[in-house]
Amino acid sequence: MDLSDDQKIITAVLAGNKNAYSILVQRFQRPIYNLMYRVTGSHEDALDLAQETFIKAYEKLDTFRLGSRFFPWLYTIGFNHVRNFMRRDKLSHGVFCQNWEEESNLDGLSHQEDEIHAKLDFQRLFQGLQKLPVDYREALILHYHEGLSMEDIAVALQLSVSGAKMRVQRGLLKLRQIIFEDEDEKERIVSTGG
């Protein structure tokens, strides 16, 4: 994502060119929509929340500090918004996308051997992510999926940089423990001769 390009678009929007904002919506709709869907597990809610996030960001755009990155700022708005939604409606983050495996087009993979393995891997990952607390999950997705730096994750999740690093590292360790729990247990038994 071109930082200077985002800045130019924001400058144009603030100068009154409303249509320029559609470029930003198109550019970031996928991660924002996926964030909402991961948290709510509902297409309907994800669409509403994503829309509201972009509208909120537009309304607050004059408070955006030019020179910083737009996506972490947008993500903060989205993440706070979906959290408030879940809190308000007393929903559990644990519902996270029980249908995600089906929704994310894994069935579209052809049944070659490697792809079957890949599908199994993703199934393990989905199950692991589902058990992971939402803060850890989002930190991992921002870093390894969206490719954000620790500085950007810190902005997006409103943490210090060392806090963001800690969040990612802890999340990875927890996820490892969840996904490979059985394997590790077997190895431990073998290595101790039990």
Partner 1 sequence: MKRKESFRLADDSASGSVEDYLENKNQKLTDGPLQIEDDKMRQIASWIGKLPDIEPPSNLVPSVMQALQPKKLFWWRCLYRWANTPKSINFTPLHAAPVVMFLIVAFILFSFLISSQKDFRYGPNSGQHRASVIFNLSLREARTVSVVGTFNSWKGQGYEMEMDRQLNVWSLELSLPEGRYEYGFLVDGQRVIPDPRALIYQDDGFGNRNSVLILRKKNGEKV
**Interface residues toward partner 1, by CB under 8 A:** 11, 13-16, 18-19, 21-22, 25-26, 29-31, 33-34, 37, 43, 47, 50-51, 54-55, 58, 61-62, 65-67, 100, 103-106, 118, 121-122, 125, 128, 140-141, 144-145, 150, 162, 165-166, 168-170, 172-177, 179-180, 183-184, 187-188, 191
Task: Compute the least distance from the CB of residue 94 to partner 1, in Å.
Answer: 19
Task: Compute the least distance from the CB of residue 162 to partner 1, in Å.
Answer: 4
DSSP labels for 175-190? Answer: HHHHHTHHHHHHHHHH
Closest to partner 1 by CB, 14 or 91: 14
Task: Compute the least distance from the CB of residue 165 to partner 1, in Å.
Answer: 6
